[in-house]
Amino acid sequence: MTVKIAVAGSKGRMGQLIMEEIRKFEDLELVAGFDLLGVGDPLDGGVSVSDSSDLADVLQKSGAQVLIDFTTPIATVENVRVAANLGVNLVVGTTGFSEDQKKEMARAIEGRVAAVISPNFSVGVNLFWKLIEVAARSLEGYDIEVIEAHHRNKMDAPSGTAAEAVKVLAKATGRIEVVYGREGRGLRGDEIGVHAVRAGDIVGDHTVLFAGPGERLEIKHQAHSRQAFASGAVRSARWVTGIPNGIYAMADVLDQK
């Protein structure tokens, strides 16, 4: 069975890579692309870029089964609402949502469609989250620092991947205090430290440092290409068709839960 896919943000870096990934598979078909820029530009298979404001109309006419969205928080929330009302399943890789925006998306999705929502679709990063959970449970009392680095144009800090790492670590250790950056004087508390670097064209580096008496352990993931994210997103688009409605994570796609 061919899975018909629409891509929101089709002119962006991730959108381009996702469409490139779709082309690799005979059972996947790009049926629509949306953006605010380049409207009318040709894409694959006779498809051209549609204005994002025409999302509902084009999704219906194209017969899209899945919408992959890597755009901005405000745009994604609206795209999720429109797609869910039409019964179009979702793969969402946008980051930087507020808690209210997350709740709004959940309300839109509930009972209507299946959605895979993840701050990172890399297979390696999802294993990274599992590894830091195991380490955090084993290294009781160790100091924990999260360090992430991205390109100079990334808008949100810390990254969605780092924020998810903090959630994993907090749950594993019971620590509730999180400190973002440090300055001045004062002793370190029983906290999780978080540091964000924005420089050059770094695709994405994430390190969790566990430091104890006489030793330290570092668990690190480095993304050398955004293709890793595109591959995971397209894998999720195939997986999300034909499953019960609800909100899923990339760990579900990888059967890690």
Residues taking part in catalysis: 150, 154
In angstroms, rounded to a whole number, what is the distance separating the alpha carbons of residues 186 and 196?
21
Radius of gyration for the alpha carbons in the chain, expressed in angstroms and rounded:
19
Torsion angles phi and psi, residue 50, rounded to 5: -100, 150
**Residue-wise burial string across 46-67, b where 16 or more C-beta atoms lie within 10 A, e elsewhere:** ebebbebeebeebbeebebbbb
Write out the H or E segment, with its range, that includes residue 210: strand 204-212
In angstroms, rounded to a whole number, what is the distance separating the alpha carbons of residues 72 and 131?
29
Angle among Cα 106, 96, 238 to the nearest 5 degrees reads 55
**CB distance 236 to 218 below 8 Å:** no
Task: Give the alpha-carbon dihedral of 22, 113, 250, 141, to 10 degrees.
Answer: 160
Other C-beta atoms within 10 Å of 244: how many? 6
DSSP-derived secondary structure letter, 158: S
Token digits for 145?
Answer: 């620092």
Torsion angles phi and psi, residue 163, rounded to 5: -60, -40
Token digits for 198?
Answer: 């924005």
